[in-house]
Structure formats: structure tokens, C-alpha cells
Amino acid sequence: MDAYTCIRTKRDTRVYQDRPIPEQSLQRILQAGRMAGSAKNLQLCRFVVLQDTPKKNELATCGQFAQHTPSAPLVVAIVLPQDGREFDAGRCAQNMMLAAWAEGITSCPVTMHDGDCALRVLGIPQGHRVSIVLAFGYPPPSAPGPKGTPRIPLEELVHWGGW
């Protein structure tokens, strides 16, 4: 799939098939995150990969809307130092989600509302925080197509030469 189609059709999905993510796809997803640009090329994002269901269940208790994460065959937490830039983590997350979608793997970003809980569950050292968690999996055959919610028309979003 070309890059534009991948961007245009990617949708967050919270229901997944009970099908593991192949090692080659996992490596491509992680590599896409690693290759994201970062401010001053500091490359501060680190990844915690979860495939163990009990650990995913425990992590799901740290987010208010994370009930779907244990059913995802793959969960990746993007971790930053306390002074790390959220923008860098966002770029990293988007790269990972698009790389996954290019292989037919859906994803959904998840906020960990209880940051201390996430740190404890993942065993993250002091001075770091969980920026975002990503759930990955294959969509069920009955999943809706890439239409999703209609987007705001481009002409309502763009202001030429000033607001």
C-alpha cells in the first residue's frame, strides 16, 4: 500500500483477532518507531513490548479506556525520560501505527491515566514516564471498512495566508 493510502485509510481499532503478530512484522513496527525523527536527534523514546496476557491485563487497569488492550496480541508502551518531548513520542507512535497498517495490522493508542500504575506494571526506572501505549492486532473479518467517521472537509480546516 502506498504511503498516502496508508495514511488515508488507517483507523483506530479496539477489537482484534486472536492471531499473533509475526516476528518480522513486530520488528518492522519497532524499527518504524526507532526511525521517527526526534528533536535535536536525541532519540529519547524507548519501547516496552508486551505479549503476555496477564501483564496486558494488569496494564489495562492503569488507563480509564484501556479495556481492549488485553485482547490485542501486541502492546507497545512508548517511554520517555521525565523531560522528554511528547511530540517525539507522537511521531514515533504514528510511524509504528502506519507501519503496522501497511501490513494489515490495526492499532489504537491508549492513554495511561494512572502513570504511577503504568510505571510499576512495566518496571520502568525512576526519571521516566509512559507517554503512550499502542495496542496492535489483526482486525476481525467483521470489522468495518476504512470509512470510519466522516472527516471535516479540507476547505473548513485550511486558511490560506492567515486565519
37: domain CATH number is 3.40.109.10
d(CA 120, CA 61): 12
Number of domains the chain contains: 1
Q: Tell me the residue range of the domain where 101 lies.
A: 3-157
163 inside domain: no
Asked whether the beta carbons of 79 and 126 are under 8 A apart, the reply is no
On the question of pLDDT at 148 being above 70, the answer is no
What pLDDT sits at residue 33? 98
Q: Is the pTM higher than 0.95?
A: no
Residue 162 belongs to a domain: no
> Stretch 79-100: mean pLDDT, rounded?
97
| pLDDT in the model for residue 41 | 93
User: Average pLDDT, whole number, for the chain?
Assistant: 94
Could you tell me where the DSSP H helices lie in the chain? 3-9, 23-34, 53-60, 86-102, 115-122, 154-157
Residue-level pLDDT at 150: 82
- Average pLDDT on 92-117 reads 97
For residue 42, give the nearest of 81, 96, 8 by alpha carbon.
Answer: 81
